Amino acid sequence: MFSLFDDVKKQISTSGATTAKVGSVILFTCKLCMMITTLACILVTAKTYIGDNINCITGYEKQEHQAIETYCFITSTFTLVDLENNNKNTAHPGVGPITRPHPDHQTGDRDSTTTAPEDDLRRHAYYQWVPMVLFLQAAVFYFPIWIWNLIDKGYFQAALCGLDKVHIGDYSKEINSSAKFFAKSLTHHRSYAIAFLLCEITAFAISVGNLFFTNTFLGGQFFKFGPSALKYLGRNATDPSNPLNEIFPKVAKCTWYKYGPSGTIQQHDSLCVLPLNIVNEKTYIFLWIMYIVAAIVCGVFLLIRILLFLLPRVRNSLLVHRARRPETKRDLMTVLLKCNYGDWFLMYNFRTSMVYFREWVHLVKEEILK
């Protein structure tokens, strides 16, 4: 079973050989959502471990049975919305007769019935789209990361000059090269930093938009699905009050129409069991938690990023405060007076990636003072 997740494992580096990149909690959160959504997509398509997608009781055999079962899966099944008020003795939640006594009947004829209106039926046609929708959501989560990789093109790694790794021997050449490059390109990094900020804004918009998209996909039930599902998670699957049965029913109805011997259209009622929904409901409970947390985390860190963009004194004080040595703090205070937001952005990420940041800042200060 674990071989199914080989493609996802490739996204996680365990060899220890990493490439220095611009750090971002927002983009990391998007990458985490992408990997978890991909895992969910693989899980819901693992037919070997969850059984068939649908099994129906049709009263037919062989080809006719398979045709009806396939029809019910590719079209839709349905459950009754107000079943508890119509028939309290039900075998399964949402499953019961769709005919009722005629409301205008006054003759006492017990056979006078009417079919329940469409508003009393809840159609379930989205479960066959779940794998494709999850794959689409995973691709959308990766979109801002892909865009940033196209923009960066190894620029940050080249500007570091290999100073993200410990050097054995003389490393003054690399420090001089990186410091001179930064000093000569001073005030020219604004577009680089703005592009990264736009990628983070895109990631936040995707994380929020994904919540509303998922809610629409699940028939407007996703937002209230999480809290109610966590409350009833340990309940019996046949409990009529269990909200998991409303979005992902385990047993549903399906109607099959065919021509009779004389050409009259005949209606056949089928009872269908949906094993796939056992996996779907647990998957979406976890995704509900993940998507809500991701949207909150992206929103908080994007707000911090925007405040740093708008408040130069705050961002300069933050970088100086995070320097350990007093001489490094003094050098930073001198350098930051000449820097705009783009220069600060590059220096801030250098501090988290560069091993010899103290020596680098001192050389940058000397280059600028020249």
233-285 tens-digit pLDDT: 666 655 656 667 777 777 777 777 777 777 778 777 778 787 777 788 888 88
Residue 313, pLDDT > 70, answer yes
Residue 102, pLDDT > 80, answer no
Tokens of 270: 């089928």
The overall average pLDDT reported for the chain is 79
In total, the chain counts a number of residues equal to: 370
pLDDT at 14: 47
Q: How many CA atoms lie within 13 A of 224 on its CB side?
A: 7
Residue 106, pLDDT > 70, answer no
Residue 113 lies in a domain: no
Residue 312 lies in a domain: yes
- A 10 A CB-CB count for 250 gives 21
Residue 9 lies in a domain: no
153-179 tens-digit pLDDT: 888 888 888 877 776 767 788 888 888
The domain tally of the chain equals 1
Residue 326, pLDDT > 90, answer no
Separation of alpha carbons 355 and 367, rounded Å = 20
Mean pLDDT in residue range 339-345: 91
Q: How many CA atoms lie within 13 A of 36 on its CB side?
A: 16
Residue 93 lies in a domain: no
Residue 192 lies in a domain: yes
**Whether the model pTM is above 0.75:** yes
Residue 66 lies in a domain: yes
Residue 112, pLDDT > 50, answer no
213-225 tens-digit pLDDT: 998 888 788 888 7
Tokens of 212: 């509303």
Among 39-53, 197-211, 277-291, the range scoring the smallest mean pLDDT is 39-53
pLDDT at 304: 94
Residue 196 lies in a domain: yes
Tokens of 225: 């699905």
Residue 100 lies in a domain: no
From 197, 146, 165, select the one nearest 19 (Cα to Cα). 165
Residue of higher predicted confidence among 51 and 27: 27
Residue of higher predicted confidence among 95 and 291: 291
Separation of alpha carbons 60 and 271, rounded Å = 12
Determine the structural domain holding residue 314 and report its residue range: 22-76+125-369
Question: HEC states along the chain?
Answer: CHHHHHHHHCCCCCCCCCCCCCCCHHHHHHHHHHHHHHHHHHHHCCHHHHCCCCEEECCCCHHHHHHHHHHHHHCCEEEECCHHHHCCCCCECCECCCEEECCCCCCCCCCCEEECCHHHEEEECCHHHHHHHHHHHHHHHHHHHHHHHHHHCCHHHHHHCCCCCCCCCCCHHHHHHHHHHHHHCCCCCHHHHHHHHHHHHHHHHHHHHHHHHHHHHCCCCHHHHHHHHHHCCCCCCCCCCCCHHHHCCCEEEEEEEEECCCCCEEEEEEEEECCHHHHHHHHHHHHHHHHHHHHHHHHHHHHHHHHHHHCHHHHHHHHHHHCCCHHHHHHHHHHHCCCCHHHHHHHHHHHHHCCCHHHHHHHHHHHHHC
Separation of alpha carbons 370 and 368, rounded Å = 5
Axis crossing angle, helix 341-353 with helix 312-322, rounded to the nearest 10: 20
Alpha-carbon dihedral angle through residues 91, 288, 277, 236, given to the nearest 10 degrees: -30
